[in-house]
Amino acid sequence: MKNFVLISPNFPETYWQFARALRNVGFRVLGIGDASYGELKQELKDSLHEYYRVNNLDNFDEEKEAVGYFERKYGHIDFLESNNEYWLRKDSILRDLFSIDTGLKSFELDQYQRKSLMKESFKKAGVKVAPYILVNDLESLKKFAEENGFPLFVKPDIGVGAEESFKLSNMQELEDFFAKKHENCQYICERFVSGDIVTFDGIADINSEVVFFASLECPPSISDILHEGSEMFYYSNPFISKEFEEIGRKTVKSFGLKNRCFHIEFFRVTKAIQGFANVGDIVGLEVNIRTPGGYTPDMHNFANSVNMYQIYANTVADFNPRPICDPKFYCATASRRDGVQYFYSDEDVLRTYEKEICGSGRYPKVLAGVMGDKFFMAKFTNLKELEVFKEYVNRRNMPSEHKASGSMFNKEGNSNDNICDTHIDGA
């Protein structure tokens, strides 16, 4: 029996399904985490062969001892994964130490975590990328700005989300950023691209062939949500064009992703940039060698009528029947923030959308800054229903001019104040 070590198998909460899926295909599933055994969901307990609790997953020595314990007791470890961005580098170092050849080693990781190196793989796949410069000195940065114009966007070369990310609109803002930036952080500055984020998510097999793919539409940028304190709204779109599917498959091949979940972000350009991109063009943003964050795998499952957790387990077990993705829906998640007065109560949402709701609850604190404090996940057969759901959940109990979130679908700037009135049967 092969041994599969899952790091932090209880976070996010629904990731216990990885353990069940792996056990289903014959793995001995061994968990390492900092939660007490009593805190684990019963479904996770039932799926794990054994669980080793450490005091702190940030303590590498504790985690190394846990893997060593499993190796001494059960023999060679065949797989070790967390499917979580935060632990990727530590996962790779543990593979180095315990000669686990089924995942990325530490010397390979930079090309998947440094945004500057990602651009080369995007270009190999024939995907446009924004011109960029690594921020090392002020004069070079100023010269880049003069050659490319404003606005510019600056962010850490290694990092997740929108922390320490800034839009620079003029030379004064550029100089202010440089004066205040963290000295121990390598930043990358690139030409600002106006566009909606669209993703190519899925699972690649040992030959970098895509076994399953899905896509997210995320019109509000993470940066805008974090800086403005607005709500998160995004949806899984199962109706992917052949053109975008081809771009996604070529990108997976170019990055050489093997036996992994992936979450690849692109811009769909909404404002043309002379000499670079036209409206509708696809521009590569970054690749994440993990599942999409939060409870997004569950959204893809509901949208495509599949089980991503089981597809992943089948893939690493070298059992790859083509998943049947039917029927298909648009599956959306709308969030709310604590302390905000909403026009419709949480109970209104659950009652009105009783038949469409797939899940609801609170995000962990570590995700709340970006995602929001609570969420409602629902699936629909068309985008109009999705629009109404978004406006219903996020409508604030205040004058419309003070709302932090508007319609992501309204392209003509028309008022959305009455859109919820079409669906108030549960209010």
185 and 197 together in one domain: no
| Burial bucket for residue 393 (CB in 10 Å: 0-12, 13-18, 19+) | buried
Confirm whether 124 is domain-assigned. Answer: no
Is residue 340 located within the same domain as residue 390? yes
Residues 18 and 99 in one domain: yes
Q: What is the mean pLDDT of residues 279-292?
A: 96
Per-residue DSSP letter, 316: H
Residues 415 and 349 in one domain: yes
Give percent above pLDDT 90 in the chain: 81
In degrees and rounded to multiples of 5, residue 379 shows phi and psi of: -120, 150
Joined tokens for residue 199: 């993703």
| Predicted pLDDT of residue 321 | 78
> Is the model's pLDDT at 424 over the cut of 80?
no
- Note the pLDDT tens digit of each residue in 59-113: 999 999 999 999 999 999 999 999 988 899 999 999 999 999 999 999 999 999 9
Per the structure, the count of domains in the chain is: 4
Question: Is there a single domain that holds both residue 315 and residue 200?
Answer: yes
CATH number at 187 reads 3.30.1490.20
Residue 374 belongs to a domain:
yes
Same domain, 264 and 217: yes
Q: Tell whether the model's pLDDT for residue 163 goes beyond 70.
A: no
Question: Quick count: other Cβ atoms within 10 Å of Cβ 141?
Answer: 22
Residues contacting 135, CB < 8 A, separation 6+: 141, 154, 178, 181, 186, 187, 188, 189
The pLDDT of 192-212, averaged and rounded, is 95
Token representation of residue 298: 């569950």
pLDDT for the residue 159: 76
pLDDT in tens, 222-231: 666 666 677 8
Which sign, positive or negative, has the C-alpha torsion 316, 319, 320, 324?
negative
Q: Give a yes or no: residue 288 inside a domain.
A: yes
Task: Write out pLDDT tens, residues 391-419.
Answer: 999 999 865 444 444 444 443 333 334 33
pLDDT range class, residue 160, cuts 50, 70, 90: low
Indicate if 178 and 254 belong to the same structural domain: no
pTM of the model: 0.89
**Contact predicate 5/70, CB 8 Å:** yes
What is the extent of the structural domain holding 83? 3-108
Answer yes or no: do 197 and 320 share one domain: yes
269 and 369 belong to one structural domain: no
Please check whether residue 424 lies inside any domain of the structure: yes
